[in-house]
């Protein structure tokens, strides 16, 4: 009983210590994200402290080089400023981080328990290469047959030197990596730490509906970098991506994954399922957005014997229709589980042995206790 009271007292004291944190000391201000080192620039962000009536103390910690140009102002009215004043000279390139901590300070410390709260914010700072460097991305849009493919090369300067000229050469390939043609973009200057986009268009006349890809090589002041992208050329067609191939006797669920193979909306889309010339399912009607994939299905009643059958999907879309043969397997119903007499016998024998052993142990312990009692007298 005494032990339980002591334990309860400890938990109560811990609760009193943790209780203030339920209110929560918070630090709010503009989110800076990844901070980019820009020589000569200054970033000033205001922060507000809330969730406390006590005095607070600010602490900055991090790389010694960073602490030379990062500072915090005095807290006034629970607000202060964080200032990052980048020097004109560069520091070694790489990723840096630093922390800002705010903690409560007890103005009248007394002996006993005291719960002081603290909050911490971590910042990341990127210093780019001191040489000319870029990051390249290529994007391409899916198009319909006969429509030009628009390409965009996104180029970001990741260095502190201006680049006189950037230009791109885009080469288009089919799924078997056969070269189909190339196009060259215009040239543009790229100031340090800036961003440019190069546009180009590729003529798809004569190319069939299929998957394609492209590689962009960007040349900049004697250097080069690459990026790739994929795109589709489509036509007005409804494609079957997958379907339920195994069904159980009786009532079973059948689904088809349908795909709109072009860049326009496909309306009045549904299918019918046939097995041995008998219609088993007429699906609901849907509309597919450009390049959209959707699962459509329903419940079918299977009366055929187990085995493999040739089925037929009749597809309807935009007033058009097409057929696709499929393979279906009717599975055998699960066999009822038979009781294994030998397993039951083994279980019963094992249980009996356990009971006997338990009884012997109890009898042995009882005799020892009785004998010990007789010896005490």
Judge whether 8 lies within some domain.
no
Q: Please check whether residues 79 and 171 belong to one and the same domain.
A: no
Answer yes or no: are the C-beta atoms of 248 and 331 closer than 8 Å.
yes
Instruction: Quote the pLDDT of residue 176.
Output: 96
Q: Please check whether residues 104 and 152 belong to one and the same domain.
A: no
Instruction: Quote the pLDDT of residue 367.
Output: 64
For the record, the structure tokens of 214 come out as: 């492209």
For the record, the structure tokens of 37 come out as: 């080192």
CB atoms within 10 A of CB 328: 22
Q: What confidence tier does 307 reach under pLDDT thresholds 50, 70, 90?
A: very high
Instruction: Quote the pLDDT of residue 338.
Output: 54
Q: Name residue, tokens 């409804």.
A: 238
Total structural domains within the chain: 3
Q: Please check whether residues 249 and 318 belong to one and the same domain.
A: yes
Q: In terms of Cα–Cα distance, which of 186, 156, 185 is closest to 171?
A: 185
Per-residue pLDDT averaged across 194-213, rounded? 96
For the record, the structure tokens of 304 come out as: 């055929």
Judge whether 362 lies within some domain.
no
Give the residue with greater pLDDT, 71 vs 111: 71
Answer yes or no: are the C-beta atoms of 154 and 195 closer than 8 Å.
yes
> What is the C-alpha radius of gyration for the chain, rounded to an integer number of angstroms?
37
In this structure, what DSSP letter does residue 319 have?
A: T
CB atoms within 10 A of CB 54: 13
CATH number at residue 308: 2.60.40.10
Answer yes or no: are the C-beta atoms of 269 and 258 closer than 8 Å.
yes
Q: Please check whether residues 262 and 318 belong to one and the same domain.
A: yes
**What residues have CB less than 8 Å from 172, skipping those under 6 apart?**
149, 179, 180, 181, 182, 202, 212, 213, 214
Q: What confidence tier does 116 reach under pLDDT thresholds 50, 70, 90?
A: confident
State the Cα–Cα distance between residues 95 and 92, nearest whole angstrom. Answer: 9
51 class by beta-carbon count within 10 Å (0-12 exposed, 13-18 middle, 19+ buried): middle
Total number of residues shown for the chain:
377
- Lowest mean pLDDT, pick from 18-22, 52-56, 290-294, 339-343: 18-22
For the record, the structure tokens of 161 come out as: 């030197």
For the record, the structure tokens of 65 come out as: 């080089």
Q: What confidence tier does 345 reach under pLDDT thresholds 50, 70, 90?
A: low
Q: Please check whether residues 102 and 138 belong to one and the same domain.
A: no
Longest dimension (CA), the chain: 112
Integer angstrom CA distances of residue 5 from 9, 14, 15, 19, 344:
6, 14, 15, 21, 51
Q: Please check whether residues 179 and 281 belong to one and the same domain.
A: no
**What residues have CB less than 8 Å from 130, skipping those under 6 apart?**
90, 93, 159, 160, 161
* Residue 5 clears pLDDT 80, i.e. is over it: no
Instruction: Quote the pLDDT of residue 115.
Output: 64
Per-residue pLDDT averaged across 345-364, rounded? 68
Q: What confidence tier does 128 reach under pLDDT thresholds 50, 70, 90?
A: very high
Which residue segment(s) compose the domain that 159 sits in?
A: 134-234
- Lowest mean pLDDT, pick from 100-109, 136-145, 291-300, 312-321: 100-109
Q: Convert 161-192 to b/e letters by CB count within 10 Å (16 or more is b).
A: bebeebbbbbbbbeeeeeeeeebebeeeebee
Give the residue with greater pLDDT, 52 vs 9: 52
Instruction: Quote the pLDDT of residue 111.
Output: 58
Per-residue pLDDT averaged across 350-371, rounded? 66
Q: Please check whether residues 154 and 187 belong to one and the same domain.
A: yes
Instruction: Quote the pLDDT of residue 53.
Output: 85
């Amino acid at each position: 009983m005494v032990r339980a009271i002591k334990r309860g007292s400890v938990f109560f004291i811990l609760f009193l210590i943790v209780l203030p944190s339920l209110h929560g000391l918070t630090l709010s201000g503009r989110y800076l994200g990844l901070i980019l080192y820009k020589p000569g620039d200054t970033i000033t962000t205001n922060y507000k402290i809330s969730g406390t009536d006590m005095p607070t103390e600010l602490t900055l910690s991090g790389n010694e080089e960073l602490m030379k140009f990062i500072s915090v102002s005095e807290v006034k009215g629970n607000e202060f400023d964080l200032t990052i004043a980048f020097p004109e000279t560069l520091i070694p390139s790489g990723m840096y981080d630093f922390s800002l901590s705010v903690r409560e300070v007890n103005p009248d410390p007394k002996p006993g328990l005291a719960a002081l709260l603290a909050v911490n914010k971590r910042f990341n700072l990127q210093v780019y290469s001191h040489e000319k460097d870029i990051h390249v991305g290529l994007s391409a849009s899916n198009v319909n047959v006969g429509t030009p493919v628009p390409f965009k090369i996104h180029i970001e300067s990741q260095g502190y030197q201006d680049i006189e000229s950037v230009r791109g050469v885009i080469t288009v390939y089919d799924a078997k990596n056969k070269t189909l043609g190339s196009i060259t973009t215009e040239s543009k200057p790229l100031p340090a730490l800036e961003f440019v986009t190069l546009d180009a268009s590729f003529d798809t006349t004569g190319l069939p509906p299929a998957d394609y890809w492209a590689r962009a090589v960007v040349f900049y002041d004697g250097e080069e970098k690459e990026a790739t992208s994929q795109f589709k050329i489509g036509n007005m067609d409804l494609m079957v991506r997958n379907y339920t191939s195994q069904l159980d006797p009786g009532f079973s669920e059948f689904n088809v994954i349908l795909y709109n193979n072009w860049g326009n909306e496909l309306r009045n889309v549904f299918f019918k399922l046939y097995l041995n010339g008998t219609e088993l399912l007429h699906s609901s009607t849907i509309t597919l957005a450009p390049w959209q994939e959707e699962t459509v299905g329903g419940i079918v009643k299977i009366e055929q014997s187990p085995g493999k059958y040739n089925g037929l999907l009749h597809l309807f879309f935009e007033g058009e229709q097409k057929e696709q043969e499929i393979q279906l397997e009717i599975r055998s119903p699960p066999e009822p589980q038979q009781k294994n007499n030998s397993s039951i016998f083994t279980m019963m024998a094992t249980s009996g042995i356990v009971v006997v052993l338990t009884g012997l142990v109890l009898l042995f312990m009882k005799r020892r206790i009785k004998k010990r009692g007789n010896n005490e007298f």
